[in-house]
Structure 1
Amino acid sequence: MTSAITFIDSGLKHTPHYFDIPVDHNDPSKGTLQVFAREIDCAKGASDKPWLVFFQGGPGFPSPRPNGNSGWMKRALQDYRVLLLDQRGTGNSSVINHQTLAHLSPQQQAEYLSHFRADSIVRDAEHIRKALGIKQWAILGQSFGGFCSLTYLSLFPESLSRAFITGGVPSVSRHPDDVYEATFLRTKAKNEAFFAQFPKAQGLCQKIANHLLQNEVFLPNGQRFTVEQFQQIGINFGVSDTFLPTYYSLENALIEINGVTTLRYEFLNEMLMQQAFQTNPIYALLHESIYCQGVASDWSAHRVRERFDEFNYRSGSDDSHSESAFYFTGEMVFPWMFEQYQCLQPLQQAAQLLAEKDDWGSLYDANVLANNTVPVSCAVYADDMFVEMDISRETLARIPNSKAWITNEYEHNGLRADGERILDKLIEMSDHTHYCQLTQQA
């Protein structure tokens, strides 16, 4: 373990830590990678507060970079010192992208990437806990970070004092197809709500989609822009306050130059900026595998999409079809992305190998979870487009000492939108669970 130079901002001390950790925790001979974590604590005095480690959503995105003392961090620091973990492959940890994987064959890429799921991330956290000499710590998991939290509760429950989860309680046994059946229905409902609020938007989307079908249009990076890529900005509908900005973008997408209609450069640049797959390929490569235990995903979302014909846009210019309504897609990945996205193209064969992989290990232990004693407090969002509420409730019903705050006040990004209030609520719930445990023991 090495620690870098500490700095102070907004009364908070930031202490970076770097850890050399095995790529494969079951076979250290495969080499090591570096994992970065940032410790945040009040700057005044030596802290004796317990620890809370944060698991970011994704997969494939780094921990937050705090700017000031606000949101969930402000509430957490009242009771804890916080460790922000850059999950392996992200941020300042040994990063995964098309550049760092270029020297490997597709088979080597797929084998290496198979060690970047929640089980490896949790084992990294355990390595760090021991390296820092921490007996127990609390965990906070947002979205995919919540999936990591259930893996942690399955593998190392004795290392945890509390677990807080926001928008991230997965099924511990369902097939990926079940997940995408549910999320396509949620995404359809979000589309209907958007187009009901902005009646003009449907026509604008059809004009943009038809233009893309009838013309070769290129993004600023030289990549051809397609209807399928345009549909993917619907991922924004899963977070709060995105309907209006989306409409504004559509409203200004087309421009006429010398009598010829084209897409404005500003719009195309915005579309490129929204393609996080380009810079964070773990999301595209491993998103479906987060639902896989002993089964292959076999491009689950792509197969399930075929059952929802409304997501397959058809232009009215084709004589064999009438023009279909336009629908945006959501938090799904598809095989064609590795043909179209410039930075994913070099990873196409590895992606296919990962989609075909059917020997994924277990991420959860249902028996351990069924005997859970760690207080688990969860914010479950009733209208969540990414994590289905009914599946979350199904899982929590099988985990003792877990409590859910089910609310329609927030979208999936509730922790970012109103984190101080949400974490305060979860801590209150956890304290009550802990009190009840002590009373029963007495």
Structure 2
Amino acid sequence: MQSETTQATQLITLAGVLARKHNFSLPLDYSQADGEQILVFARELTLPENVAKQLPYLVFFQGGPGFGAMRPAANGGWIKRALKEYKVLLLDQRGTGLSTPINYLSLQHLDAAGQAEYLSHFRADNIVRDAEAIRAQLSPGSPWSILGQSFGGFCVLRYLSAAPEGLLEAYITGGIPSLSRSAEEVYRATYLRVLAKNRDFFARFPDAGELIAKLVTYLQDNEVLLATGERLTVEMLQLLGINIGMEQGGESVYYLLEQALIETQNGTRLNPLFAAQFSGMLDYNTNPLFALLHESIYCQQAASGWAAHRVRQQYPEFNYLSGEPFLFTGEMIYPWMFEQFNNLKPLQAAAELLAAKDDWPALYDAGQLKQNRVPVAAAIYSEDMFVEMRYSLETAAQVGNLKYWLTSEYEHNGIRMDGEQILDRLIALNRGARLR
């Protein structure tokens, strides 16, 4: 397979860090290498004093699926630690950021079946194929290091399964998936974690229940339109819970609720500030790949069948009834979202086909992982709302040469909040240091 790359002719300075843009033309479907091509973008970061040095690469796999790599504004966090000894490559995974982005506009030339077939090529297996094609150009003949956050950890385990020869070492934060458990099993566990985070949230903010009750009553009595044009429903309000599993996320949700309703000369009204900020706290309109493929990241030779929606019926307390306690949901995708979010509506039929797809290829090679020789260091957050700790530990026991740091210090987005410290500890762990 031949691919083409073009590079920016000049380095760009970003707060003391030098950045270079890379664009790669790669196959949509690697079984048809001469067929349709997509663009994959990556941003390379280097310290000025290291620009002439032959440093190894550290490639970052973003959480998601469906989100472009971070756009750094300063030399801070985990990037600051990494740049001491690596060149950092921030990869916009296919379909995200500047990598042939996916949305209803880019897919509107296809019918539903064509959209579903196209989208089936955007899971971790092809993300890793892209990375290997890029390595052949940027680091020919030399393995590189990788760091995966959340869904990025799924990509790391796929890399270790399919192309370990391309890796020097690997790091995972908040993202060790089960190698074999179904989406339904995963959601049964994570609903319990969401319940626990709800208890924590309403204990921390005792008046939040009253604020929400007033808001829900208002929503039921009035047609409330968001800044993005949708009618705000109670089910949609529950989706804010994806934020309460993040460090500082609970505070953001609470402060938003405080300002939800205002008193005017014409009575109680929804605060326009709430309508604008609410839309900004959910990514379903802006990052549709997250809704379209989230459940498929767990699928191997099986259909998801809207697993989160089905499992929710086992936890009826999440189905709000007037007068009953309100609960937030978490990182769950529901079929009604493709009826309520404007930018998902055109993709509803494709989403149904993807939910019914039962021939997803296997992602992990248990035999290869058992005999893995690539050093792997992982941070497992015991209180993580998004990842079941028991399943992470279960997988860790099945992967050779994997060391982990189990901690209650961080929520799921720990790498964003204290990345320099976390990556430093993982590098030390991979290199034999004993953590205290």
The TM-score by the shorter chain falls in which range? over 0.9
1:85-140 CA-to-partner distances (Å, cap 9, x unmatched) read 00001111111011111111111100000000000000000000002225100100
Is 1:304 equivalent to 2:308 in the alignment?
Answer: no
TM-score (norm 1): 0.95
Q: Which amino acid counterpart does residue 298 of structure 2 have in structure 1?
A: Y
Cα 1:433–1:126 change in 2 (3 A) is farther
Q: Which amino acid counterpart does residue 420 of structure 2 have in structure 1?
A: E
- Give 1:11 shift: 2.9
User: Quick one: which of 50, 63, 69 aligns to 2:69?
Assistant: 63
Is 1:37 equivalent to 2:27 in the alignment?
Answer: no
1:236 maps to: 243
The 8 Å contact of residues 401 and 433 in structure 1, kept in 2 or not, is answered as no
Instruction: Give the alignment of 1:3-402 within 5 angstroms.
Output: 3-4=7-8, 5-44=10-49, 45-132=51-138, 133-258=140-265, 260-315=267-322, 323-402=323-402
Secondary structure in 1 matching 2:31? coil
1:318 maps to: none
Secondary structure in 2 matching 1:358? coil
Taking the aligned partners of 1:272 and 1:120, their CA distance within structure 2 comes to 31
Taking the aligned partners of 1:327 and 1:11, their CA distance within structure 2 comes to 45
The 8 Å contact of residues 378 and 405 in structure 1, kept in 2 or not, is answered as yes
1:58-96 CA-to-partner distances (Å, cap 9, x unmatched) read 000011111111110010111111111000011111110
1:187-227 CA-to-partner distances (Å, cap 9, x unmatched) read 11000111111121112112212222232111123211101
Q: Which amino acid counterpart does residue 426 of structure 2 have in structure 1?
A: L
Runs of 4+ aligned structure 1 residues displaced above 4 Å come to none
Taking the aligned partners of 1:379 and 1:134, their CA distance within structure 2 comes to 29
1:24-70 CA-to-partner distances (Å, cap 9, x unmatched) read 01122431000001111112341211111110000000111111111
- Give 1:257 shift: 2.9
Taking the aligned partners of 1:420 and 1:197, their CA distance within structure 2 comes to 28
Taking the aligned partners of 1:9 and 1:218, their CA distance within structure 2 comes to 39
Secondary structure in 2 matching 1:221? coil
Secondary structure in 2 matching 1:103? coil
1:439 maps to: none
Taking the aligned partners of 1:197 and 1:238, their CA distance within structure 2 comes to 14
Q: Which amino acid counterpart does residue 14 of structure 2 have in structure 1?
A: D
Q: Which amino acid counterpart does residue 339 of structure 1 have in structure 2?
A: E
1:319 maps to: none
Cα 1:170–1:390 change in 2 (3 A) is same
Instruction: Give the alignment of 1:418-433 within 5 angstroms.
Output: 418-432=418-432
Cα 1:231–1:54 change in 2 (3 A) is same
Taking the aligned partners of 2:22 and 2:327, their CA distance within structure 1 comes to 44
Q: Which amino acid counterpart does residue 274 of structure 2 have in structure 1?
A: F
Paired residues in the alignment total 427
Sequence identity percentage: 54
The 8 Å contact of residues 146 and 165 in structure 1, kept in 2 or not, is answered as yes
- Give 1:433 shift: 8.1
Moved more, 72-81 or 266-275: 266-275
Q: What 5-or-longer segments of structure 2 have no aligned partner?
A: none
1:411 maps to: 411
